[in-house]
Structure 1
Amino acid sequence: MFTLSASTLRPLFKAEQVRELDRRTIAGGIEGFALMQRAASSAWHSFRARWPQARSITVICGSGNNGGDGHVLAALAIQSGLKVQRVSLKALGELKGDAARAAELATSAGVSCEQWHAGCVFTGDVIVDALLGTGVRDEVTGPARQAIGAINAARQPVLAIDIPSGLAADTGAVLGEAVQADGTVTFIGDKIGLHTGEAPAHTGEIDFRPLGVKADAFFDIPPFAWRLDEAWLGDAFASRPRTSHKGDMGHVLVLGGAPGFGGAALLASQTAARLGAGKISLATAPEHITASLMRCPEVMAHGVRGVADLDQLPQRADVLVVGPGTGQGAWGQAVLQHALAAKAPLVVDADALNLLASHWPDERRDNWILTPHPGEAARLLGCSTAEVQADRPAAARALQKARGGVVILKGAGSLVASVAGLGVCPYGNPGMASGGMGDVLSGMLGALVAQRGEVEQSACLGVLVHALAADRAARDAGERGLLASDLASYARELVNP
């Protein structure tokens, strides 16, 4: 799946992996305090690039190395002429190690310090969150929780150092309460938890600074995941040979649209056509045929009352998309059963996933893409939606292990899990919280599998194109009112770079 990763995708790590990279860097001859100074200097440059007009700053420091970064940044700020308010969660005399050295450096530079207390008023133009680092795993309580609440209640913009305090670095879950930052500057190795779960609502723009550490030089610390990137598209969608014909571009069969649920299947089939598949067939309830012909006459629509009407359609297709609008009744069950009997790759979405959970609990195959949202993933895993969201990477990997193929766990920071690794999509926007978005994704995936003949890279590319198309649509006309049907034209541009 990640054959292009070395040049076009950013590696993502778990917190313990980054700590190990940090330890090895120090063991290699760079003093820990020097590395802290590098981090603070990088954070200072990130701050200045984002808020060049700021004349004052509030730095809130915890008791660990994350707080140490904050103390050094405070020293840099006062040396540059800014008015600095330094707030420490712990008395300076109680700090230890590099954090104590950093605090002394700031004091020697002339930065005064006040200890955190309830009712503390933040006076800086910008607040810097240096409270908690990536090692926090349990729910945040006590003074740290109070300070996080005060930061979120303040009106000033916020820069988080390494990670917004209260956000889990490995999962993107909120540990009780987390800082809502406008920007996050993170160091050494980018963290998986900054890109999925609740993270997009807390990180703001992420500025990654490696501090001179080359993570790829440590071959025994493989990335936990890869961040998908728009730059991948140029390599993935080469120009077609001039002699291409529709038979070369694959045949997609969309199975969906039970009586009364035709819209989802129509969206999926039309989007598949816009993404470049050579032939699109639609097997749907007879009452939806007229609407299909009016909406997209290029789609070959077939009325299906029961599986007998499917005849040899599944055998003639290169990929089957099953689930959009199928429902969970007899019609949907029969259609899914027929699809599962075919040998072609499958894209399984919506009610077909719920039917898999309830009627085919042991079904597993290597040539399908499952596209659950958190609720559907919970039903497939036999757990709660909250448990899925508490550790989305673990849920995606567990579902892929149980069911095989490729699993796309949808939501903010969609995840793509396969035997080859885990991909994270950093794109998308709240405008996608509308009906039909999943159906459009299924159509895109079907078209890409039909043209490429494989499921792993097709899944990553489909998720990437889907999210980027939504971002372009929102850029042009706003997030509110964004319709699933708006995406097809933008997606077409993206697959023709």
Structure 2
Amino acid sequence: MRIGTAKVSREIDKVCIEKLKIPGIVLMENAALKVINNIKMSEINSFVIVCGKGNNGGDGFAIARHLHIKDKKVQVFFIGNPEALSGDCKTNYIIASNLGIKICKLNNIEDLDYFRSCISASEMVIDCIFGTGLTRKVEGIYEQVIGIINENSRNTLSVDVPSGINSDDGEVMGICINAHNTVSFQLYKRGFLKYSSNKFIGKVVVEDIGIPKEVIEEICPKEFVLHEDFIKKAIKPRDKHSNKGDFGRALIISGTEGFTGAAYISTETAVRSGAGLVTVLCPKDIQNILSCKLTEAMTINFTQKEKIEEVMCKARAIAIGPGMGNNLWTFSILEQVIEKSKCPMVLDADAINVLQDHKDIIKKSSNTLVLTPHPGEMSRLTGLDIDYINENRIKVAKEFALENNVILLLKGYNTVITDGKTTFINSTGNSAMANGGMGDCLTGLITSFIAQGYEPLEATCISAYIHGYCGEKLSNEMFCVNAKHVMEYIPYAIKEIIE
């Protein structure tokens, strides 16, 4: 799904109407029909539709017409002066009126009493008050109407965006509809990605309303929400004649005394997600521990210089950082590996922490680097406040990736993956996964898919999606999901997705 802003939506409409000569009323009709398709008609029979004076209100009048034709009980409320209706909105207002659909005005306290009683008696409220262009605080009659809907509606569906939310940044403009479902059009609104937006937007469905593909390609930024269809197409089927050499060699540089778990999880995940041969490079004092735990992976230690050179030379992907410690030793190892490696690298955990005052070394890499910070690590890396990062995740991630010529995966709700030019938002995962080792698991996944021959950006997207997918599936039957659970489920999850 494409991600867009209010400005992008306006430009799309302008090109369609002015250049392609698609009448706005046609787009409005398509939008109304898509909303109808998302209503369980066999279960819901009575509706209250609340319309504003703009195109969002026009969608509402068109929706009312279709529900009326289907013999549903429909009560429409209009906020504002009919003389101020926009062109296409006015057309649908007139049609609805001519069909005998009752349209009540909401202008004063007496109107609100009747409005409240109608909502209490209805099975669904459809919110068509404001569209994507809201930038001012909601006040007066609008504030009262939204408050009454939130207090009395049992089932609220918002059209395009919940009224009261800024569709670009997710800010609540004083008050906002608490939607149970949102049917949005053509683009997933950027404001939906904000942490706090989730409690207002409910379940979001993005519907195509007939905008030509070339218009979308021309106008929209390269920002996408990852979808299972994308992952399914991206994962290559395995040829029956393939052998372990065809699926690449991965090197995981990880672990220190007291942190063998990080090395184990990242390495075992790389094995279970399909890399042909996996080796972990670790300190000598923990090698025996890892050798006992890892059945299918090989282990080497930092004293085996020749062996390290050999493994690095053959590796298709290298991961570094989990459980190594934020110290000069880790920085020294990282610096050497960046200088000598001949393949893409995944930098996680302490490999990111040691860059705090040494970001210049990542620009020395002749290979693609994938950095996977959580907001705290991103704060240390950039010097930016964590709250600012969380409020501006896409902006911060894109700017850093572009400036440093890296792929950045910024962890958290709606994980951001970007090379600065193309950006993906991961839609999978939940708070059941919020525990230690999950990042190590993700690092192993990304490294494995790069080793198998996937382009680093594609491998990072696939891995983030599968990682979250496992967590979601497992959390259906588990209160909390640990990294080991995800690690064990990965091969089954991949099979489920591709089949």
TM-score normalised to structure 1 length:
0.85
Report the counterpart of residue 482 of structure 2 in structure 1.
Answer: 483
- Separation in 1, partners of 2:433, 2:196: 16
Question: 2:62 is matched with which residue: 72, 79, 104?
Answer: 72
- Separation in 2, partners of 1:175, 1:315: 56
1:412 counterpart letter in structure 2? Y
Question: 2:43 is matched with which residue: 29, 33, 53?
Answer: 53
The answer as to whether partners of 2:124 and 2:153 remain within 8 angstroms in 1 is: no
Q: CA deviation at 1:471?
A: 2.6
Number of residue pairs the alignment of both structures matches? 483
Report the counterpart of residue 13 of structure 1 in structure 2.
Answer: 4
Q: 1:239 to 1:363 in 2, by over 3 A?
A: closer
- Separation in 1, partners of 2:221, 2:470: 27
Report the counterpart of residue 375 of structure 1 in structure 2.
Answer: 376
Q: Per-residue CA shift, 1:123-164, capped at 9, x if unaligned?
A: 221121222211234565555455445444445122110122
Q: 1:140 to 1:334 in 2, by over 3 A?
A: farther
Q: What SS is found at the alignment partner of 1:231?
A: helix
**Does 2:453 align with 1:452?**
yes
- Separation in 1, partners of 2:307, 2:79: 68
Q: 1:89 to 1:465 in 2, by over 3 A?
A: same
2:247 counterpart letter in structure 1? M
Q: 1:138 to 1:377 in 2, by over 3 A?
A: farther
Q: What SS is found at the alignment partner of 2:14?
A: helix
- Separation in 2, partners of 1:174, 1:79: 35
Q: 1:243 to 1:442 in 2, by over 3 A?
A: same
Report the counterpart of residue 348 of structure 2 in structure 1.
Answer: 349
The answer as to whether partners of 2:78 and 2:103 remain within 8 angstroms in 1 is: no
1:31 counterpart letter in structure 2? P
**Does 2:337 align with 1:336?**
no
Q: CA deviation at 1:370?
A: 1.2
Query: Which has the larger share of helix?
Result: 2
Q: What SS is found at the alignment partner of 2:184?
A: strand
Q: CA deviation at 1:442?
A: 0.7
Q: Per-residue CA shift, 1:77-135, capped at 9, x if unaligned?
A: 34433333434443445544433444444444332324176776332211212222112
Which is further off, 148-157 or 349-358?
148-157
Q: Per-residue CA shift, 1:9-45, capped at 9, x if unaligned?
A: x444333222222122222333323432332232223
Report the counterpart of residue 443 of structure 1 in structure 2.
Answer: 444
Q: CA deviation at 1:332?
A: 3.2
The answer as to whether partners of 2:250 and 2:447 remain within 8 angstroms in 1 is: yes
Q: CA deviation at 1:54?
A: 1.4
Q: CA deviation at 1:353?
A: 2.0
1:382 counterpart letter in structure 2? G
Question: 2:35 is matched with which residue: 19, 24, 43?
Answer: 43
2:467 counterpart letter in structure 1? H
**Does 2:395 align with 1:394?**
yes
The answer as to whether partners of 1:189 and 1:215 remain within 8 angstroms in 2 is: no
Q: Per-residue CA shift, 1:377-408, capped at 9, x if unaligned?
A: 34333322232233332222111112212111
Report the counterpart of residue 417 of structure 2 in structure 1.
Answer: 416
**Does 2:272 align with 1:274?**
yes
Q: 1:183 to 1:266 in 2, by over 3 A?
A: same
Question: 2:247 is matched with which residue: 231, 246, 249?
Answer: 249
The answer as to whether partners of 1:58 and 1:85 remain within 8 angstroms in 2 is: yes
The answer as to whether partners of 1:77 and 1:84 remain within 8 angstroms in 2 is: yes
Alignment of 1:87-236 (within 5 A): 87-92=77-82, 94-108=84-98, 109-115=100-106, 121=116, 122-123=119-120, 124-137=122-135, 140=138, 143-145=141-143, 147-154=145-152, 156-172=154-170, 174=172, 178-194=176-192, 197-217=195-215, 220-236=218-234
Q: CA deviation at 1:291?
A: 4.2
Which is further off, 61-70 or 80-89?
80-89
The answer as to whether partners of 2:15 and 2:215 remain within 8 angstroms in 1 is: no
Q: 1:140 to 1:290 in 2, by over 3 A?
A: farther
Q: Per-residue CA shift, 1:348-383, capped at 9, x if unaligned?
A: 122322322333356334501111223333433332
Q: CA deviation at 1:197?
A: 4.6
TM-score normalised to structure 2 length:
0.85
- Separation in 1, partners of 2:137, 2:463: 36
Residue identity over aligned pairs, in percent, reads 28
The answer as to whether partners of 2:322 and 2:349 remain within 8 angstroms in 1 is: yes
Structure 1 gaps, min length 5: 1-9
Q: CA deviation at 1:222?
A: 4.5
Q: CA deviation at 1:443?
A: 0.5
Q: 1:160 to 1:434 in 2, by over 3 A?
A: farther
2:448 counterpart letter in structure 1? A
Report the counterpart of residue 6 of structure 1 in structure 2.
Answer: none
Which is further off, 146-155 or 415-424?
146-155
Q: What SS is found at the alignment partner of 2:428?
A: coil
- Separation in 1, partners of 2:171, 2:292: 45
- Separation in 1, partners of 2:399, 2:53: 36
The answer as to whether partners of 2:323 and 2:349 remain within 8 angstroms in 1 is: yes
Report the counterpart of residue 432 of structure 2 in structure 1.
Answer: 431
- Separation in 2, partners of 1:455, 1:401: 15
The answer as to whether partners of 1:13 and 1:191 remain within 8 angstroms in 2 is: yes
The answer as to whether partners of 1:469 and 1:487 remain within 8 angstroms in 2 is: yes
The answer as to whether partners of 1:86 and 1:111 remain within 8 angstroms in 2 is: yes
Q: CA deviation at 1:335?
A: 3.4
2:404 counterpart letter in structure 1? R
Q: 1:260 to 1:358 in 2, by over 3 A?
A: farther
Q: 1:282 to 1:161 in 2, by over 3 A?
A: same
The answer as to whether partners of 1:195 and 1:426 remain within 8 angstroms in 2 is: no
Which is further off, 111-120 or 321-330?
111-120
1:84 counterpart letter in structure 2? V
Q: CA deviation at 1:409?
A: 2.1
Report the counterpart of residue 296 of structure 2 in structure 1.
Answer: 298
1:59 counterpart letter in structure 2? I
Which is further off, 14-23 or 78-87?
78-87
Q: 1:144 to 1:308 in 2, by over 3 A?
A: farther
2:37 counterpart letter in structure 1? H
Q: CA deviation at 1:336?
A: 2.7
2:261 counterpart letter in structure 1? G
2:208 counterpart letter in structure 1? P
The answer as to whether partners of 2:400 and 2:420 remain within 8 angstroms in 1 is: no
The answer as to whether partners of 2:247 and 2:276 remain within 8 angstroms in 1 is: yes
- Separation in 1, partners of 2:167, 2:222: 12
Q: What SS is found at the alignment partner of 2:88?
A: helix
